[in-house]
Amino acid sequence: MASPIGTPIRASTQDFLDIQTILDDIIVLRDGSCAIAIETTAVNFGLLSEEEQDALIYAYAAFLNSLSFPLQIVILSKRMDISLYIERITREEERQVDETVRQRLKRYKEFIMSIVKENRVLEKKFYLVISFSAVELGVKGAFQTNSQKKKFQFSMDYVLSRAKTSLLPKRDHVLRQIGRIGLKGRQLTTQELVEIFYNIYNPTLTGEKLGDVAGYETAMVTGQGKKSS
């Protein structure tokens, strides 16, 4: 509904986010649904032999056929900050007494800097996201509308308990299956999830590390976090 002329429309960032909070390594959305994220490694498919490629394809097909629940694959790319690496090479170059080694380090540093100048050095992260639907709580939605705010019908402890009952066995199944493919996986912690979403909504060239979020009553990505007394 349009506001009267002269009346400012006040809204904060969290009003436009689907995330309610992040607790116990679980993402809780505003509609009561939840999700967990598993970070996994990757395989350089092009470097494998033909037999290894075929074996990997069959193993991946078996993994997909074993799933009885939705699974989302997310790939995040960010520009790598190699300034510390360049500084390390520079220090090694300066402390070298052997002129041959020093010149080789200098040429190597110039080579790395030329690559960075001509091409962006990207770091890719791979995640598997398993979701828990609000319908599994036994209602069409876990919230009720009160004016412009949405409030949970259930306590957060209840929602998390039901979500864990559903998500953790699925997580263990996925970890076992990707292990058979030769990949390693682990569930992201609350701290890591907050940092990922913070950098998604506050993009920088290389991303930022946040302080420990354990001292906040609400995860920082909701925009409502404050220090606990």
Per-residue pLDDT reduced to its tens digit, 132-141: 998 887 655 4
User: Of 8-12, 132-136, 164-168, 204-208, which has the strongest mean pLDDT?
Assistant: 164-168
* 32 and 116 belong to one structural domain: no
Average pLDDT over the chain, rounded to an integer: 81
Domain finish residue from 120, 148, 171: 120
Q: What is the pLDDT of residue 63?
A: 94
Dihedral of the CA atoms 222, 224, 226, 229 (nearest 10)? Answer: -110
Mean pLDDT to the nearest integer, 53-80: 91
* 43 and 136 belong to one structural domain: yes
* 172 and 69 belong to one structural domain: yes
Per-residue pLDDT reduced to its tens digit, 7-40: 665 656 666 778 889 999 999 998 889 999 999 9
* 32 and 131 belong to one structural domain: yes
Tell which wins on pLDDT, 221 or 172.
Answer: 172
* 104 and 136 belong to one structural domain: no
* 24 and 37 belong to one structural domain: yes
Q: What is the pLDDT of residue 122?
A: 74
Q: What is the pLDDT of residue 77?
A: 82
Separation between Cα atoms, residue 3 and residue 92, nearest integer Å: 64
CA distances from 79 to 89, 108, 109, 110, 172 (A): 20, 21, 19, 19, 31
In a domain, 31, yes or no: yes
The encoded tokens of residue 47 equal 């470097």
Q: How confident is the model at residue 51 (pLDDT cuts 50, 70, 90)?
A: very high
**Cα 136 to the center of its chain, rounded Å:** 24
Phi, psi of 80 (to 5 degrees): -85, 145
Q: What is the pLDDT of residue 78?
A: 78
In a domain, 166, yes or no: yes
In a domain, 7, yes or no: no
Q: What is the pLDDT of residue 71?
A: 96
Q: What is the pLDDT of residue 147?
A: 42
Q: What 3-state class would DSSP assign to 126?
A: strand
Q: Which residues pair with 78 in a beta bridge?
A: 123
Question: 108 with 89: CB under 8 angstroms?
Answer: yes
In a domain, 227, yes or no: no
* 90 and 157 belong to one structural domain: no
**pLDDT over threshold 70, residue 118:** no
For the chain, what's the residue count? 229
The pTM of this model reads: 0.71
Question: 196 with 76: CB under 8 angstroms?
Answer: yes
**Cα 185 to the center of its chain, rounded Å:** 13
Per-residue pLDDT reduced to its tens digit, 101-110: 889 998 998 8
In a domain, 211, yes or no: yes
**pLDDT over threshold 60, residue 189:** yes
Domain finish residue from 103, 120, 137: 120
* 101 and 47 belong to one structural domain: no
The radius of gyration of the chain's CA atoms, rounded to the nearest angstrom, is: 23
Separation between Cα atoms, residue 1 and residue 8, nearest integer Å: 13
Structural domain for 175, as ranges: 13-77+124-222
Question: 125 with 75: CB under 8 angstroms?
Answer: yes
